[in-house]
Structures are given as structure tokens and as C-alpha cells.
Amino acid sequence: MNYSGFRVFWEGLTGNAGWKPAWRDPDPRAEYDIVIVGGGGHGLATAYYLAKEFGQRNIAVVEKGWIGSGNVGRNTTIVRSNYLLPGNEPFYEFSLKLWEGLEQDFNFNAMVSQRGIVNLYHSDAQRDAFARRGNAMRLAGADAVLLDQDGIRELCPFLDFDNARFPIRGGLWQPRGGTVRHDAVAWGYARGADKNGVDILQNCEVTGFQIDNGVCKGVETSRGKIRAKKVAVCVAGSSSRVMERAGMRLPIESHVLQAFVTEGLKPIIPGVITFGAGHFYVSQSDKGGLVFGGDIDGYNTYAQRGNLPVVEDVCEGGMAIMPMIGRARVLRMWGGVVDMSMDGSPFIDKTAIEGLYFNGGWCYGGFKATPASGYCYAHLIARGEPHPVAVDYRLDRFRHGAMIDEKGAGAQPNLH
């Protein structure tokens, strides 16, 4: 069934009796050509592009809970392509371009909203760094505008420009950045993949791999063994736990990132705003809630909840740039387990085990990467070689000194 305005109108007139489930709930088959482990955004996008763009058939996505129960349904929905390094920026710009055409492509309203993102700067040195970043973005075909204080005043007059400690001097603005309804991304890709014949197997946890003489021949799951010619893992925060079952140790630590939503307010925040001197970022949802977050908690954890010192730190960051939100009441807060890598950048690669692929290390920023991650992973799985914008996302890059460290923080996951 195709979704459209007409369809909504028609169903409204006919008692909404014609809607069907958006995807099937099949039983696992004994064998697939490709098994994707993890039904988050990346896994579902990978299945979708494998079927739609790379002509693959006979694919299953295996998810331990329900699709969207992981970080794809927990993030703060920001999409942007404002990276600096050549290993990253073309990839994220490719992703932003895919976002721009996504809703037409998979016929689902993902509420892609390009209201712009502003990274504030507070010192001369930071302005210079942002000018450099903006130039790197433009060289990769992205949009970037360096705004002075007057420019920011026009966009966000409510900021605390003359803050005694961190006065706001200007910002780097990416007008094409914005937010996307995260659950709808999972659902849209799931429906699109299902339409192309992909089996989405929920409540099906991968508990092991069948590895024979260095060749991966399938997975063991809570719903039985499934043979596969290729197995592609993308389980985000669970990466180390799952790959351990294939005997691999990863350059990854699992950490918790918290997020917060306030009561609904009238429209006040024009796009996404980030603080440049502390860690705080905020946008406003279509329902009016302020959606915000900050730093990861900073210690290894698999508990999907954080601690109070970070809550305080995030709120202080918010108060430092926009004191007007001080009386907004926080309605909900939650945490998600993020796969922090040793250089803050992700992996999309084959492993030393033939037929076993790995995608992970997305840290706190893999939502924006969902379309490109799926597309590039599908490219690697179908063609056997990396997509041109993802060639640097190799698992062995630390061996060769080829890390992609945007922050220059070194092999210390909690500092990225």
C-alpha cells in the first residue's frame, strides 16, 4: 500500500478500515543469503539498500527486541554534516543528501526538518577553528555559513550574548542541518525493506556465530540456527558483546548518553543550537518540547540510564547560553548505550573472518549517519569493497596510524 495525502483522506472517509500492518512478522527460515544482526536504524537501512539498490534477495534482519528499541529510538534526532576531516565529511554529506530524498524514496513521512544547526563560538581561536571547519565542509560540497554576533542575533535573539564567562561571538551555521523523527526512520526503512522481500525477525537474539575454519556460515539465535552466506553485524552499543562471540576484541567502549525533554512550549528555538564552551545542544520538537542533551557520562556502562552529575552539567550548559529556559520543566529523561570508539569515528568493514562484516563505533552521533551507513554497508556486503566515501572506516586503522580523530583527544573514548 502506498502512503499519500489522498490515502489519508480516503481512509478518513471510510472509517480507517483499510490500513494494513506496515511489515510482516515471518518465522525465521533455515537459511538466508545475508543475515543482518541488529534491527536499529543502521541494520534496517542496510537491508533496505541491499534489496533496493544492490539487487540482493533473501535477506533477514535479526533483532533481539523490537525494531527501534535501541538507540535509533533514543537519540535527539539531529542530522548535520559539519565534520572537519576528509575521512568523515564526504560520508556525512552523502548521508545528508540521502536524508533530503529519503521520504520520497521510501514513501514514509520521516518528518525531515531542515531548520538549520548553529554551533556557537565564544573566542577568536574558536572562530578560526570554525572558519576552517566551514571551509572543509564547503570543499566536500556541504553548506556552511560563518556568522558573526549580529548574524546570530538575527537567528536567535534570546541567547545570553554578553555572558561574563563565555560571551557569544558568533557561530558556524549549517542551514541544511536539522532534525528527523527518529522512530519514523526505523519504521520507514523496515517497511521499505519488507516491501522488497526482507524478513524482519523480532524477538530473535543472536547468541553465537557458526564459524568453520575462519569462515562464518551463520548465526545461532534464540529462535534457532540460521545459516547465511554473509553475516553483517550492526548492534551499536552491544558491539563488543556480540563480536566477542566471534572471538573478536574491538577498539570500542560502551558508555551512556542521556537525553531530556521538557513540557511543550510555544515555538522558540528555530533549529538546533549547540554551546561551544560546554556541552549542551537543544532543538524543539514539533510537539513543542525542548529536546536537549550534552556529554556522555564517561564511564563504561551497559545500563540504559545515567547519573545526576551529568544532568546538572547539561542544565548548567543550557542556562549559560539561554537563561530563558530556566523555568521549563523537564518531563522525561533517559539514556542509551553508545559504542564509543578509540578515535571517535565509526567502522564499516569486513573482519578477518570470511563472510562476517562489522559496522559500529558510531559513538553519540550515528543517527545522522543512518542512510549513508546503510548504503555504504550494503555496498561493502554486496560488492566486496568499500563505498568511496567510507574507505577510511577500517577496523585496523589504529595499526597503521590512520585514525580519524576529529577532536584530537587520542585513544580515550570518554573524551571524544
Partner 1 sequence: MIIEHPLLGPRDAAEFTYLGDAAMIDRPDWQSGDAIREFHDYLYLRDNPAGEHRELWFHEQGDRSWLVVTRNTTTHEITKVELARDTALASGRHR
Ligand X SMILES: Cc1cc2nc3c(=O)[nH]c(=O)nc-3n(C[C@H](O)[C@H](O)[C@H](O)COP(=O)(O)OP(=O)(O)OC[C@H]3O[C@@H](n4cnc5c(N)ncnc54)[C@H](O)[C@@H]3O)c2cc1C
Q: Which residues bind partner 1 (CB under 8 A)?
A: 240-241, 249-254, 298-303, 307, 309, 342, 398-399, 411-414
- Quote the least distance from Cβ 411 to partner 1, whole Å: 5
Strand partners, 239: none
CB closer to ligand X, 169 vs 218: 218
Closest separation between CB of residue 342 and partner 1, Å? 5
123 makes contact, choosing from partner 1, ligand X, none, with CB < 5 to 8 Å by partner type, with none
Nearest to 230 by CA among 331, 89, 358: 358
Q: How many residues does the chain have?
A: 416
139 vs 411, beta carbon nearer partner 1 = 411
Residue identified by cell 538549520 is 116
Q: Residue 291 CB, nearest distance to ligand X (Å)?
A: 8
Q: State the DSSP H helix or E strand holding residue 215, giving kind and residue range, or none if neither.
A: strand 215-221
Q: How many whole angstroms separate alpha carbon 373 and alpha carbon 48?
A: 12
In angstroms, the CA 406 to CA 97 distance is 22
Closest distance to ligand X from the beta carbon of 61 (Å): 9
DSSP lists the bridge partners of residue 78 as 179
Instruction: Please say which residue, 93 or 295, places its beta carbon nearer to partner 1.
Output: 295
Residue 293: contacted member of partner 1, ligand X, none (CB under 5 to 8 Å, by partner type): ligand X
- Helix (H) / strand (E) element for 63: namely none
From the list partner 1, ligand X, none, which binds 399 (C-beta under 5 to 8 Å, kind-based)? partner 1
Contact partner, 309, from partner 1, ligand X, none, Cβ < 5-8 Å per class:
partner 1
Backbone φ and ψ of 258, nearest 5°: -100, 155
Q: In the complex, what is the shortest distance from the CB of residue 247 to ligand X, in angstroms, rounded to a whole number?
A: 15
> By three-state DSSP, how is residue 390 classified?
helix
Question: CB of 343: closest distance to partner 1 in angstroms?
Answer: 9
Pick from partner 1, ligand X, none: which does 163 bind, CB < 5 to 8 A by kind? none
Which residue is associated with the grid cell 563505533? 361
Please choose which of partner 1, ligand X, none residue 414 contacts, taking the beta carbon within 5 to 8 angstroms, the exact cut-off set by kind.
Answer: partner 1
CA dihedral (366, 367, 372, 374) positive or negative: positive
Q: Cβ of residue 364: shortest distance to ligand X, in angstroms? A: 5
Could you say which of partner 1, ligand X, none residue 242 binds, taking C-beta under 5 to 8 angstroms by partner kind? ligand X
Strand positions, DSSP E, 139-197:
145-148, 170-174, 178-179
**Closest distance between ligand X and the C-beta of residue 296, in Å?**
9
Query: CB of 62 within 8 A of CB of 393?
Result: no
| Positions that interact with ligand X (CB under 6 A) | 37-43, 62-65, 69-72, 74-78, 205-206, 234-238, 242, 257-259, 293, 336, 338, 362, 364-368
Q: Which of 20/399 has CB closer to partner 1?
A: 399
Residue 278 binding: pick among ligand X, partner 1, none (C-beta 5-8 Å cut-off by kind): none
Burial of 12 (0-12, 13-18, 19+ CB in 10 A): exposed
Q: What's the rounded Cα separation, in Å, for the pair 70 and 47? A: 17
Choose between 56 and 373: whose C-beta lies nearer to ligand X. 373
- Quick one: 160 or 205, whose CB is closer to ligand X? 205
Minimum CB distance to partner 1 smaller for 19 or for 299: 299
Phi and psi torsions of 241, nearest 5°: -65, -40
Residue 255's nearest CA partner among 377, 412, 404 is: 412
Nearer to partner 1, 112 or 296 (CB): 296
Helix (H, G, I), strand (E, B) or coil at 345: coil
Q: Least distance in Å: CB of 340 to partner 1?
A: 9
Give the up-direction half-sphere exposure of residue 412: CA atoms within 13 A in the CB hemisphere. 6
Nearer to partner 1, 334 or 398 (CB): 398
Task: Measure CA 98 to chain center.
Answer: 13
User: 28 touches which of ligand X, partner 1, none (CB within 5 to 8 A by kind)?
Assistant: none
